[in-house]
Structure 1
Amino acid sequence: MSKPVVTQLTQTQCPHAAMGTLTTSTTKVMIDNAPALALGDKGTVAGCPFTLPNGKPQPCVTEMLLGISSKVMAEGKFVLLQNPSDLCYSVENIPQGPVGWTNIQMKVLAA
């Protein structure tokens, strides 16, 4: 099944509603005036308010994007696809929950 290719303009958020920022290593392949994300690119989260019940801060800091196309490449790397299984992680590399997706481009789909 085809899914949207993630671009740098795709907006993400952690499960605690902090906004994510996607960065990409590709600059030549543009979709809707934004560079496509490729294998190895990540998202970062700033300002996550999550705290454990014992009071220890455990904010989301990284978005691991694992939805990889098996057919479409950008600059020699497979592009990333919107994936409901992508997860946010804390600084201690503890899974925090799913990445939330908004502002998803729908012009380019891939498998």
Structure 2
Amino acid sequence: MSGDTLTVNTTMQCPHGGQVRATPANTRAGSDAYLLTTGDTFTVAGCAFSTTAGPSPCLSVTWLVSDLRVSAGSPTLSASSSGLCMNALNVPQGPVSVVATQSRVSTR
């Protein structure tokens, strides 16, 4: 794992300023700040991207690179993970930006 671990409290954006929200599938690791994995659902709200053909907002995130050695049911995600924001036709719109993370994750 390289970089800070992504949790539900992580702030992420699409390249056009839309807010990325994560819905974790695993609610056992983290209690109030669940760890994010490739198996979670990532939705984008507020993307205003448009082309000459019309609106083409980012709606979801597909992760391409995850943590290689850490797993919580599915591979976990960190600030160094790579993801692409996708539109309704599942066409890549650009990379997701991790704006703020939790710097420490503790286990009990």
Shorter chain as normaliser: what TM range?
A: 0.7 to 0.9
Counterpart-to-counterpart distance in 2, 1:43 and 1:73: 18
Compared with structure 1, are the counterparts of its residues 8 and 105 closer, same or farther at alpha carbon in structure 2 (3 Å cutoff)? Answer: same
> What letter corresponds to residue 98 of structure 1 in structure 2?
P
Matched, 1:87 2:74: no
In the alignment, is the contact (CA less than 8 A) between 2:2 and 2:79 conserved in 1? Answer: no
In the alignment, is the contact (CA less than 8 A) between 1:37 and 1:80 conserved in 2? Answer: yes
> What letter corresponds to residue 2 of structure 1 in structure 2?
S
1:99 corresponds in structure 2 to: 96
2:41 corresponds in structure 1 to: 42
Q: How many residues align?
A: 105
2:26 corresponds in structure 1 to: 26
In the alignment, is the contact (CA less than 8 A) between 1:63 and 1:99 conserved in 2? Answer: yes
Between the aligned residues of both structures, percent identity stands at 37
The worse-fitting range, judged by mean Cα deviation, of 57-66 and 38-47 is 38-47
- Please list every run of 5 or more consecutive structure 1 residues that lacks an aligned counterpart in the other structure: none
Counterpart-to-counterpart distance in 1, 2:68 and 2:85: 23
Counterpart-to-counterpart distance in 2, 1:90 and 1:96: 7
In the alignment, is the contact (CA less than 8 A) between 1:42 and 1:64 conserved in 2? Answer: no
Matched, 1:57 2:61: no
Compared with structure 1, are the counterparts of its residues 5 and 38 closer, same or farther at alpha carbon in structure 2 (3 Å cutoff)? Answer: same
Query: 1:46-83 deviations in whole A, cap 9, x for unaligned?
Result: 221111024x1111000112332222222x33212223
Counterpart-to-counterpart distance in 1, 2:23 and 2:4: 17
In the alignment, is the contact (CA less than 8 A) between 2:66 and 2:81 conserved in 1? Answer: no
Shift of 1:87: 0.9
TM-score, scaled relative to structure 1 = 0.82
Shift of 1:21: 0.6
Compared with structure 1, are the counterparts of its residues 101 and 14 closer, same or farther at alpha carbon in structure 2 (3 Å cutoff)? Answer: same
In the alignment, is the contact (CA less than 8 A) between 2:82 and 2:95 conserved in 1? Answer: yes
